[in-house]
Structure 1
Amino acid sequence: MSGNTNSGHADVVKTLRPYHVWALGVGIVLVGEYMGWNFTVAKGGILGSLFAMLVAGTMFVMVSLCASELGSSTKLAGGPYDWARLFVGPGAAALVGLAVYMEFIALEAADAIVVASITNSIFPEIETFPVTLLIISFLTFMNYRGVVAALNLNFALTFTALLAIIVFFFMNITGFAGTWHPEYLISGAIPNGFIGIFAALQFGPWFYLGIEGAAMCAEECKHPTRAVPLGQQAGMITLLLGSGMTLYLCSGLIPAAELGSSVYPLFEAATATGSTFLIAALGIGTLFTCLASANGTVCDASRSWFALSRDKFLTNWFADVHPRYSTPYRAVIFTMPIAIAFAFSGFLDQVITFSITSGLICYVMIPFSLIRFRKLFPEHSNKVRPFVGPLQPIIAYITIFLAIVIMSTLNWGYNYNLIFGLLFYVIAYFYFSWRYKSIEINHDWGEDLGWPEPVHRR
């Protein structure tokens, strides 16, 4: 099995530009500014939320740098899966591919749950589950028809939702959007002591979860060596600014006790201002960002499943590319029943927790893949490494440490989720390692990637 094992199948079309990469990464993640992050407040108060935002932000900047280097070098659709396959091993590759798939599918389900909840709050006569089904079906169809159309939609939705946050922020600091209450910061600073601040880390990734997905469209970029690093880093900067503005607005407009349990905190913060314009803008922003996130997750989850199938870890049936739309359409369609199964539970925090657990598996393996990549190919030539991240591999080791620390905090309140998630992935690892024995592998670095042989083979 070579690194580019898609013989017998059409190639995906190369049409995406840097702003598409930005739209994919930010589109998936910006929903984390609109909902989910506020569970950090329930655990550790305002200080806990700030701590979680900063620690998780540090980790994701490092993940983003690792993903930029790997994605611009390999230029493959599978993203973290392909990096693990090339540089770590087959068992790890299949494990990462499955974790990426589950991370994004659970995120899609969470997005659909929130949109359905908002719809139900506006129109109480409409039940939530049919709305959830409609959203998942529509976004599956959009990705079935073509990645360019889907990501152009993402760009429009994401830009609108981001603009709503920026307008809200500047209206508030200039005094045009209600009264900001500094006393809320003091009264809700540390409700559960210092252990609560540490426990808040478990939801910190929700501010940025999925940004590594921006590199997963590398195979469909016109110029991946430029588009992936530029789009990925611009996306991370956008999210850091967005998370800071979001925490500032919500912590001073909503009491901490209410903020920690809100389903859509930015919308509730806008409601607290009494401004009809902001209520409408943030309501639309919440709907748009959930749709953009769900749309992006369908794109990324299907690419991971497509890559697993193309390399025969799954049935080869999912590796077909549509002859007209040039999309991995069977892999796209298969995202729908899994997302519906997650959404059927209706428990937002449980779905979010499984998505975070799956993501943290990836955030251990992505930097580990980079460490292995640099050992196999130490030369910094443009041919092998068009984007060179700073301070590597030190950053990769720190990323692994932070991911394990954050994962350990799930023990506070979600210990069964953590045990189930880790058990699920351990079983998957051994299953795929066993299945791999029947698959022939041979990386032809020169033919597949245009690289020299790795140092350990010379």
Structure 2
Amino acid sequence: MTDEVTESPGLVKTLRPYHVWALGVGIVLVGEFMGWNFTVAKGGILGALLAMLVAGTMYVIISLCASELGSATKLAGGPYDWARLFVGPGAAASVGLAVYMEFIALEAADAIVVAFIAQELFPQLQVFPVTLLVIATLTFINYRGVVAALTLNFFMTAIAFLAIILFFFSGTFGVFELHPENLFQGAMPNGMIGLFAALQFGPWFFLGIEGAAMCAEECKRPSRAVPLGQQAGMITLLVGAAMTLFICASLLPSSIPAEGLGVSVYPLFEAAQVSGVPVLVALLAIGTLLTCISSANGCVCDSSRSWFALSRDHFVSNWFASVHPKYQSPYKAVIFTMPIAIAFAFSGYLDQVITFSIVSGLLCYVLIPFSLLRFRKMFPSHINKIRPFVSPLQPWISYFAIIIAITIMSTLFWGYRYNLIFALVFYLIAYFYFHNKHKKHQKEFDWQREMGWPNPSHHNIEE
């Protein structure tokens, strides 16, 4: 399953911690400019706060798991490679497809939002041509190499995050008037069931941060860059989420579901408009646009790496496993993201596309900590060469993350039950198909040749 498939050069190892930060935060920060506020429509301000805290706890744990696994394996497939190495081929194929679908769907959604923003600024523009242009441009940038793509992400993400910080401190220092009493209005409009239902939108604050570890194979020092960039990214998002929730709730009414925060398309931008400060309005408009572009850009990077890894191990055609001789990018896998993203974008069902992305992500959040549990069982903690970064409080926090992910997934029955059922059936079929097709290769896996590790003892790999 892991034989060499091409004699083309390998992926270039040039990325540093700030590139990892830019990839993770660049994908996710868009969820703080829009989408998260639907928690308010379901559960009010208290529901939004609960969703942020519950999802934030899960993502902190997932980030720790991803840091340990990514710095150890140093492979481009991220969650796919972790499942392949430590769980089995069926789980690997399922999570590889889930990662691919998660980021492709996010890319499509981001491109559509960019097109809508462009249309608001220039009414003569049409949404679909702009969407196509955004997808094509970002595909070309990633085709030319990962350093250029993620350096661009770093600057766009830094500007967008700076916009949130300046907006927050402008309000707290009295540049415009805040209304903290809004935090107590409509705090729990739908009772306890609303609090529970709000959890389905909690991942918006952090969805995709695990993708930061997917550039491990292209990092100069992955054992340092992955944990540092991943954890710095998670801290950035936690701070940004808290600032966003406070400033938006203090400016936009949450007690009027038909008009307020719960149904806002661009909550940070609309909050800036309410502030009445032209500079902040312009800054948040720019931040909204840049964060959508950076998210779509990071999604091209991560989805192509997942498809590249699937191809390299013969789960899909190994034609996609080629590396460009000049740009050292998985260029065929990058190009293949374009027609799939366009298909999602032109379906016209944005909420359905996003929901499929969330379900795909939640499946990963079950299998990432499970992969870490298997990894630790197969390679105990005393093997320091294999595990350069060790996440704390294991295995308990991994079990806790799995429980949270399954709980959040169950809340999708409020509004998206058919999406949930379809996605689970799709990945279940993929699991059994690829498990039966590749189980022989799993038994013959040579850890010394493939990873440079000693083979785990029979006692450690027993189910």
Same fold (TM over 0.5): yes
User: Are the aligned partners of 2:17 and 2:224 in contact in 1 as well (CA < 8 Å)?
Assistant: yes
User: Secondary structure at the residue paired with 2:220?
Assistant: coil
> Which of 179, 186, 207 is 1:181 aligned to?
179
Q: State the shift of 1:350 in Å.
A: 2.1
Greater CA deviation, 92-101 or 263-272?
A: 263-272
**1:386 has 2:384 as partner:** no
Which residue does the alignment assign to 2:263? Answer: 261
The answer to which of 190-199 and 98-107 deviates more is: 190-199
Range moving further from structure 2, 183-192 or 16-25:
183-192
Normalising by structure 2, what TM-score? 0.96
Tell me how far apart the structure 1 counterparts of residues 77 and 64 of structure 2 sit (CA, whole Å): 17
Q: Which residue of 1 is the match for residue 445 of structure 2?
A: 443
**Contact 1:20/1:231 (CA < 8 Å) preserved in 2?**
yes
Do structure 1's residue 104 and structure 2's residue 88 form an aligned pair?
no
State the 1:354 CA deviation: 1.1
Structure-2 separation of matches of 1:24 and 1:131:
23
Could you tell me how far apart the structure 2 residues matched to 1:101 and 1:441 are?
26
Give CA-to-partner distance per residue, 1:435-454, whole Å, 9 cap, x none.
32686763222222221111
| Alignment check: 8 A CA contact 2:8 2:325 kept | no
Aligned equivalents of 1:274, 1:456: Cα separation in 2: 67
Cα-to-partner distance string for 1:84-106 (whole Å, 9 max, x where unaligned) = 00000000000000000000011
Which residue of the partner structure matches residue 215 of structure 2?
217
Residue deviations 1:54-111 (CA, integer Å, cap 9, x gap): 0000000000000000000000000000000000000000000000000001111111
Task: Give the counterpart of 1:270 among 249, 265, 272.
Answer: 272
Q: Partners of 1:323 and 1:441 in 2: how far apart? A: 33
Q: 2: CA distance between counterparts of 1:261 and 1:350?
A: 17
Aligned 8 A contact 1:36 1:349 in 2: no
User: Which aligned pairs between 1:80-229 and structure 2 lie closer than 5 A?
Assistant: 80-176=79-175, 178-229=176-227
Question: What's 1:238 paired with?
Answer: 236
Deviation of residue 153 (structure 1)?
0.1
Mind listing any 5+ residue stretches in structure 2 that lack a counterpart? Answer: none
Q: Which runs of 5+ in 1 are unaligned?
A: none
1:340 and 1:426 map into 2 onto residues whose CA distance is 26
Structure 2 distance, partners of 1:445, 1:157, is 40
Q: Please give the alpha-carbon distance, in whole angstroms, between the structure 2 residues aligned to 1:140 and 1:289.
A: 17
The alignment's TM-score, normalised by the length of structure 1, stands at 0.97
Report if aligned partners of 2:111, 2:135 keep a CA contact under 8 Å in 1: yes
- The whole-number CA distance in structure 2 between the counterparts of 1:71 and 1:167 is 33
Q: For residue 12 of structure 1, what is the aligned residue in structure 2?
A: 11
Counterpart contact for 2:76–2:306, Cα < 8 Å: yes
Q: 1:333 pairs with 319, 332, 335, which one?
A: 335
Tell me, what secondary structure is at the counterpart of 1:345? Answer: coil
Count of residue pairs the alignment pairs up: 456
In the other structure, the counterpart of 1:311 is 313
Kept in 2, the 8 Å contact 1:60–1:208? The answer is: yes
Q: Deviations over 1:234-273 (max 9, x none)?
A: 0000000000000001111111222111221111111111
- Matched to 1:290, the amino acid is C
Using the alignment, how far apart are the partners of 2:242 and 2:64 within structure 1? 20
Tell me, yes or no, if the aligned pair for 1:109 and 1:294 is still in contact at 8 Å: yes
> Do residues 366 (structure 1) and 334 (structure 2) align?
no
Whether contact under 8 Å (1:383, 1:450) holds in the other structure is no
Code of the aligned partner of 1:128: V
* RMSD over equivalenced CA pairs, Å: 1.4
